[in-house]
Amino acid sequence: MNALRYNLDGATRICNQIGDIFEAPEDGWGERIYVANVVGQTVPPAAPAAPAVVPAATPRQPPILPTAALQAGMASSSMAAVTTAQQQQQQRRQQGGE
């Protein structure tokens, strides 16, 4: 070990070792985390920033329309609703004498 590293305001600072003693930081030891800098140890470089991904221009796709089976099902459910409404009107007429 030949130094202590610490971060201050986003910058890495070093306290060098002189003999058996480490130089104190300019603002005192304070309450921060110190990391031993071991001789021969290399610090891996920071990962490069990911490049901005810009989506390629793609042609607009037409909306997906229901298939014939769905359309037929929708038609039959619409017809069922109309039939039910007609039946309700007939029942009201019979009950109220409209």
**The model's pTM:** 0.38
In a domain, 53, yes or no: no
In a domain, 89, yes or no: yes
What's the first-to-final CA gap in the chain, in angstroms? 101
Tokens, residue 2: 């030949």
Tell me, what amino acid is at 64? Answer: I
- CA-based diameter of the chain, in Å? 111
Domain count, the chain: 2
In a domain, 61, yes or no: no
Give, for all 98 residues of the chain, the pLDDT tens digit.
789 999 988 899 999 999 889 999 988 998 899 998 887 756 666 666 666 666 666 666 666 666 665 555 555 555 555 567 777 778 788 887 55
In a domain, 74, yes or no: yes
